Structure 1
Amino acid sequence: MSGIEILNIFGFEVKEEPTSIYPYSPVYRVKYGNQDVVVKRTQSRAGSVMSYTNMLKDKGINVVTPVKLKVDNPQKYEDTNFVVYPFIKGQKYTGKDNEIYEAGKMLGQIHSYSPVSNFYDLLVYDVYDFNEEEVEGSMEAIFQHANKAGLKIDSAIKTKLMESVANQQELYCANLPHVATPHDYKANNLVFIPEPYLIDPDNAAWIPKVFDLALALLLFHNEHEEAPDRIFTIDEWELFLLGYKEYMDITDEEKRFWEKAKQHVFLDEVMWLMAEYEVDWQKSSQQNLFKSLLRILIDGNDYKII
């Protein structure tokens, strides 16, 4: 994929291949007049995402929305959609209590502005089809990566993930409250000015609200150099929820399914992360995060949403 060609379709004239500022996908910081902007990948339903994020911005949420250009924004390059956002200057998350509280409050605000139906035609969460063979394959890879890193993985992890496979149909039929949400709500998608500002809303989806909370618990500190190399402590999680509950209630049904939802999100979002990225097991920060994630899967009953 040519970075030059991606930038050229937006009218940015560059002659040398640009360097991505993000290691996992093409993200280019360039000048647009006197303004710094970021060109990045967005999802297939680009128009839906932009309509949704424009609504959030109109409601007062600090979230990036497309820069007005002389050409359409977003644009499609080959089979991939790209968008130009303003570059937001601010402080990175460092795990301070006030940052955690404000991040929880922002997610509560975002959820509170969700329509009651999928008005913005966002991607609908439908991942309820994991099977035992997938868990077997992923666990084999995880055990191998951990061995190379000199770590021993408790075999109870596999048992927990097999339980999650068995629970999928019950979760699917539970009729849990859904919300429109940026999903992927974590520290490296926020900057603080000093209030949190969401700089990557491009995974926006229509999903069970309790799944979005579980994802924040499990992966808020993922891929972030300044964040603690672990999940939230119980006190930090309660602080996050304190901010969240200023704007959004948690239903009795969500509380009843919380443990199963947490395990399901681990199955969907964490298992593949641990299995696919062997290099992360060699990084001390990610290795420590993985160890804390494995602990919460085996014994995380103190992480509640009551």
Structure 2
Amino acid sequence: MSNDQHDRQAEAVRAALSKDLFELSAESIYEWGPVFKARLAAREGSTVDAVVKPTLTNPARAAALGHWQRHLRAAGVACVEPLELRHVALPVSAAGSAWMAYPWVEGTPWVGTLESIAAAGGGLGSMHRESSSFDGADLPHFEWPVFSQESVDEDIEAIEKVCNEQAAYLDDGSYPLGASESASRWVKELTAFHSETLPAIRDAGLPTYAVSLDYRATNLIYPGGGQPPVFVDFENGEVAPRLLDLAGSVLLFASEANNNPGRLFTEDEWTVYVAAYLETAPPLTQHEIALWPEALKYMRLEWGTWHLTEGAEWDYPGEGNFLRDLLTLQDSDRFPLHP
């Protein structure tokens, strides 16, 4: 998005929040979209540093999102919840979008240590534990993909193109699969996705909660002092199988993070992440445990394909190596689940 677009959006947001606005910077603090730092008048009379960002446009769903966040916060989960302003009712409409304000969270980005990874796993488990008792009826519900041969063909063509473009890296022995092997595997799995992988997960009756579907390092802020990381981005939240939320977090945790190490979790990192998750989350059912390899495959094929093709940022620091690791990943071998 261009600076001019950000400037226009910032001006519209300033106007919408004017009764409670002291300051709003037109420079987005988020590289991938419009997220503005502001200073606002809170309802209880204080002046607070805040973040203003787009939210759900449907009023009922936006309200449900806020209820979910407040439910989590009241239960002690480290996450943001919407501000309540002195005069302006949130969310506000501006520049064709709905906008929500959240408290500014002081802290640092993920640093990649085992301790920080374990803390993140525990945070996800806590979110799942408390979300299991939340009524998410008014939140968006997960939509299962509908078969389209054209869409499958486009994904196959795009993945084959990526494998060909990355051949110099994939064929140098640094990854478990070469370019040709990677392409063959993805073509086979994408071809079978709608007849095998999708129904195995969709029809399994897995436990579903309100989940973020975007639990990764770039959405966590670490306050320090032994405090758990604060999750700050709920706008992709839906009612969905929590197993897919766990799988997505494992596959994409470091993607686009400032300290992206250029790979997915190592064995030690996965061990501490999943141990901390299992310690705080509702116990996994035997059905979930049995379907874990399929859940990883589902998220790799459905979400990973987009990250490797349309959404790929090969030149972003660490992201190229990260994506090549994702492209050649041996799912269940790399991330076994043994509660």
TM-score (norm 1): 0.90
Mapped to 1, the partners of 2:316 and 2:32 lie a distance apart of 15
Which residue of structure 2 lines up, in the alignment, with residue 87 of structure 1? Answer: 104
**Matched residue of 2:188: which SS?**
helix
How far residue 232 of structure 1 moved from its aligned partner, in angstroms, is 0.8
**Matched residue of 2:279: which SS?**
coil
Structure 1 unaligned segments of length 5 or more: list them: none
Q: Does 1:66 align with 2:73?
A: no
- Which range moved further: 148-157 or 96-105? 148-157
Question: Over residues 239-287 of structure 1, what are the superposed CA-to-partner deviations in whole Å (9 max), with x where a residue is unaligned?
Answer: 1111111122111101111111111111221111221135x12345111
Mapped to 1, the partners of 2:319 and 2:188 lie a distance apart of 23
Question: Over residues 71-125 of structure 1, what are the superposed CA-to-partner deviations in whole Å (9 max), with x where a residue is unaligned?
Answer: 0111223542210111111021011111111111111111111245744521111
Larger Rg: 2
How far residue 30 of structure 1 moved from its aligned partner, in angstroms, is 1.9
Q: Does 1:295 align with 2:295?
A: no
How far residue 159 of structure 1 moved from its aligned partner, in angstroms, is 1.6
Which residue of structure 1 lines up, in the alignment, with residue 17 of structure 2? Answer: 10
Give the 3 Å change call, closer, same or farther, for CA 130–211 of structure 1 in structure 2.
Answer: farther
Q: Which of 220, 225, 230 is the equivalent residue of 1:190?
A: 220
What are the residue-to-residue correspondences of 1:1-306 with 2, within 5 Å? 2-3=8-9, 4-11=11-18, 12=21, 18-32=26-40, 34-44=47-57, 45-69=61-85, 70-77=87-94, 79-115=96-132, 118-145=135-162, 147-148=164-165, 150-151=168-169, 153=179, 154-155=182-183, 156-166=185-195, 167-194=197-224, 195-248=228-281, 249-277=283-311, 280-283=313-316, 285-296=318-329, 298=330, 300-306=332-338
AA paired with 2:220? L
Tell whether the 8 Å contact from 2:200 to 2:294 is kept in structure 1 after alignment.
no
Mapped to 1, the partners of 2:88 and 2:293 lie a distance apart of 47
Give the 3 Å change call, closer, same or farther, for CA 230–132 of structure 1 in structure 2.
Answer: farther
Give the 3 Å change call, closer, same or farther, for CA 29–130 of structure 1 in structure 2.
Answer: farther
Calculate percent identity across the aligned residue pairs: 27
Structure 2 unaligned segments of length 5 or more: list them: 42-46, 171-178
Mapped to 2, the partners of 1:116 and 1:35 lie a distance apart of 31
Mapped to 1, the partners of 2:255 and 2:15 lie a distance apart of 32
Mapped to 1, the partners of 2:198 and 2:245 lie a distance apart of 16
Mapped to 1, the partners of 2:62 and 2:32 lie a distance apart of 20
- The alignment of Structure 1 onto Structure 2 pairs a total of residues equal to 303
AA paired with 1:164? F
Tell whether the 8 Å contact from 1:132 to 1:162 is kept in structure 2 after alignment.
no
Question: Over residues 120-144 of structure 1, what are the superposed CA-to-partner deviations in whole Å (9 max), with x where a residue is unaligned?
Answer: 5211112232444323312323443
Tell whether the 8 Å contact from 1:181 to 1:206 is kept in structure 2 after alignment.
yes
Mapped to 2, the partners of 1:302 and 1:191 lie a distance apart of 27
Q: CA RMSD in A?
A: 2.3
AA paired with 2:39? K
How far residue 199 of structure 1 moved from its aligned partner, in angstroms, is 1.4
AA paired with 2:308? M
Which stretches of structure 1, 4 residues or more, deviate above 4 A after TM superposition? 145-152
- Which range moved further: 231-240 or 141-150? 141-150
